[in-house]
Amino acid sequence: MRLKKLLVANRGEIAVRVIRACREQGIATVAVFSEADREALHVLMADEAYPIGPPPATESYLKIDTLVDVARRAGADAVHPGYGFLAENARFAEACVAAGLTFVGPPPAAIRAMGDKTSARKIARDMKVPMVPGTLEAIASDDEARTTAAQIGYPVMLKAAMGGGGKGMRLVRSESELAGALRAARSEAGAAFGDTSVYLERAVVEPRHVEIQVLADAHGGIVHLGERECSIQRRHQKLIEESPSPCVDAGLRARMGEAACRVAKAAGYVNAGTVEFLMDAERNFYFLEMNTRLQVEHPVTEMVTGIDLVREQLRIAAGEPLGYAQQDVTWKGWAIECRINAEDPFGGWLPSPGTITGLRAASGPGVREDSGAYEGYTVPRFYDTLMAKLIVWGADRATAIERMLRALGEYKVVGVRTTIPALERIIGHPDFRAGRLSTALLERILPGLRAHEGRHASIALIAAVLAEYARTRRAAPEAGLPEAGPSAWARAARPGARG
């Protein structure tokens, strides 16, 4: 079976990523868009695009019936869910299959088995994959939570059974915090996932977050593509990812990869998936959960393995065998990804929607940009703040770090605030450079993060005054600053140069 026309049930950079993979394989693409996304890049890039409703996702990108209907009417034969929205919704996968559409992702049963974190933990236990001590069932009452927490020992972590992305998660340091945290986690889980079930596990202090990418075909073939280090998180939201991990060697990679494949196989998994592990200071790893979709951070794996994950997803969905085995998978060099979010790192990390008046993305050797933005694009206020992902590859970690610093310095966004200046500070931090990573690292670095250290105060004054001077003179008949065309810019400027 060959896929001919695919509907991308998503938006933003991931929709663009999927469209690119389709185009390279001669698959026609159908975009969908909410009223807020008429001018979004994925709409501009797809072969066809259809409106699906008002801006709130619940009225557009989460409308299963609408999406299936659009796919059918556009004559699509496949649907790619991207990540987020309906990507891990078994009912959506079922609806696609029922409508005769190929769902580019795992079978609904596998989504269901892994989507409920308590059932996923049972599978991991049965497969003898190490797990953080905790409950295998959702917590029924406050009393049960108290008893169980006392048994496994504080600190404990409360997690939404249907959760993901850090929502519905609460660290509980002592019994006095338990009742309040339980209430908060339940209400957050209910709002985010429509299910208030939470479970409990021992909190690993300052853990690393390391995940394994797996690829499984429909013929029993399965490989892992090594790990991604995702410890750099702010409030459980990943900000920087890399592959390989500075704390994983070949032996550990093989053990973790083998464990991940065992879990995926037991769940009847097909297509690309990710098994997440926590790692303690002694490099013991514990099964956390399985994400039954493409991850935001998949490009770092692509950069070090040379395997195009979306292409593989499409091939697998079309019924093709992997065509290679574990020993054929090799890793080369080091890749780092930074998430460029429309957030103000110096203003409480609040979302910063608005129009991008100026944009110059980074490029050059070893640099990849997966973006959903362009100059003149207005970042809507309704969705995730992820605007673009900047990925670099280097022969080793030190090279990749220097390259990322160089690329971040080149990347200019005017009009909305972004995470770029914070990313530069984190990547350049001695702990990051030394590979001393943990999920607690940002909690230590960020409070000391200042908008500036005064290194360029005079230049800032000059630029601001010249901007005002130009404005004043534009109002007057004679012109202000000359506007350079692109060619003059290319000739005259060394972008990203610093003083």
Query: What residues are annotated to the active site?
Result: 293
**Nearby residues of 213 by Cβ (< 8 Å), 6 or more positions away:** 224, 225, 226, 227, 228, 272, 273, 274, 295, 298, 301, 309
Given a contact cutoff of 8 angstroms between Cβ atoms, the answer to whether 84 and 167 are in contact is: no
State the Cα–Cα distance between residues 65 and 86, nearest whole angstrom: 12
| Residue 460 interacts with another protein (CB under 8 A): yes or no | yes
- Is the Cβ of residue 183 or residue 473 nearer to another protein in the bound state? 473
The conformation of residue 457, written as its DSSP 8-state character, comes to H
For residue 5, the Cα-to-chain-centroid distance in whole angstroms is 26
Residue 264 identity: A
Is residue 495 reached through a cis peptide bond, with omega within 30 degrees of 0 on the bond before it?
no
CB of residue 387 to another protein, shortest distance in Å: 15
Stretch that binds another protein, among 51-59, 203-211, 363-371, 457-465 (CB under 8 A): 457-465
Q: How far is the CB of 290 from another protein (least distance, A)?
A: 37
Report d(CA 189, CA 168) in Å as an integer.
5
Q: According to CB under 8 A, which one of 140, 179, 205, 493 is a site residue for another protein?
A: 493
Q: Is 462 a residue that touches another protein (CB under 8 A)?
A: yes
Q: Rule CB under 8 A: which of 374-393 touch another protein? A: 375
Q: How far is the CB of 340 from another protein (least distance, A)?
A: 13
Work out whether 448 is an interface residue with another protein (CB under 8 A): no
Minimum separation from the CB atom of position 33 to another protein (A): 25
Residue of 134, 415, 426, 429 that binds another protein (CB under 8 A): 415
Which stretch of DSSP H or E encloses residue 452?
Answer: none
Nearer to another protein, 116 or 344 (CB): 344
CB 239 within 8 A of CB 166: no
454 φψ region: left (φ > 0), alpha (ψ -120 to 50), beta (else): left
Place of tokens 């929607």: 353
Q: Which stretch binds another protein (CB under 8 A): 126-134, 146-154, 293-301, 490-498?
A: 490-498
Residue 484 interacts with another protein (CB under 8 A): yes or no: yes
Tokens 């979306």 locate to: 310
Count, residues near another protein per rule CB under 8 A: 56
C-beta of 372: minimal distance to another protein in Å?
A: 19
Q: How far is the CB of 374 from another protein (least distance, A)?
A: 12
Given 359, 367, 379, 386, the residue binding another protein (CB under 8 A): 359
Q: Does 353 bind another protein (CB under 8 A)?
A: no
Instruction: Check residue 350 for interaction with another protein (CB under 8 A).
Output: no
Instruction: Identify whether the C-beta of residue 410 lies closer than 8 Å to the C-beta of residue 498.
Output: no
Q: Which is nearer to another protein, 81 or 345 (CB)?
A: 345
Q: Of the candidates 274, 285, 288, 129, which has an alpha carbon nearest to the alpha carbon of residue 212?
A: 274
Q: How buried is residue 482: exposed, middle or buried, by Cβ count under 10 Å (0-12/13-18/19+)? A: exposed
Nearer to another protein, 312 or 344 (CB): 344
Rounded CA separation 18/241 (Å):
20
* Options 314, 425, 426, 437; binder of another protein; rule CB under 8 A: 425
* 250, 281, 395, 461: residue in contact with another protein (rule CB under 8 A): 461
Residue from 252, 318, 421, 446 binding another protein (CB under 8 A): 421
Nearest-5° Cα angle at 39, 34 to 42: 80
Nearest approach, Cβ of 249 to another protein (angstroms)?
Answer: 33
- Cβ closest to another protein, residue 59 vs residue 410: 410
192-197-201-205 Cα dihedral, nearest 10 degrees: 20
Does 464 contact another protein by CB under 8 A? yes
Residue 424 contacts another protein per CB under 8 A: yes
Rounded Cα gap, residues 499 and 495, in angstroms: 12
Q: Is 473 in the site for another protein (CB under 8 A)?
A: yes
- Mention every residue, 6+ apart, whose C-beta is less than 8 A from residue 417: 342, 343, 344, 345, 346, 347, 352
Q: What is the closest distance, in whole angstroms, from the C-beta atom of residue 404 to another protein in the complex?
A: 12
Q: Which of 73, 183, 346, 365 binds another protein (CB under 8 A)?
A: 346
Greatest Cα pair distance in the chain: 79
219 part of the interface to another protein, by CB under 8 A: no
Please choose, out of 11-19, 203-211, 264-272, 472-480, the segment that lies near another protein by the rule CB under 8 A: 472-480
Selection from 399, 262, 244 nearest residue 330 by Cα: 244
Q: Please check whether residue 329 is in contact with residue 322, taking contact to mean a CB–CB distance below 8 angstroms.
A: no
- In the list 409, 431, 432, 442, the residue contacting another protein (rule: CB under 8 A) is 409
Instruction: Pick between residue 115 and residue 415 the one whose CB is nearest to another protein.
Output: 415
* Residue from the set 358, 364, 365, 435 that interacts with another protein by CB under 8 A: 358
**Tokens of residue 389, six digits:** 């992902």
Site residues for another protein per CB under 8 A: 346, 357-360, 375, 408-409, 412-415, 417, 420-421, 424-425, 451-473, 478, 480-484, 488-489, 492-499
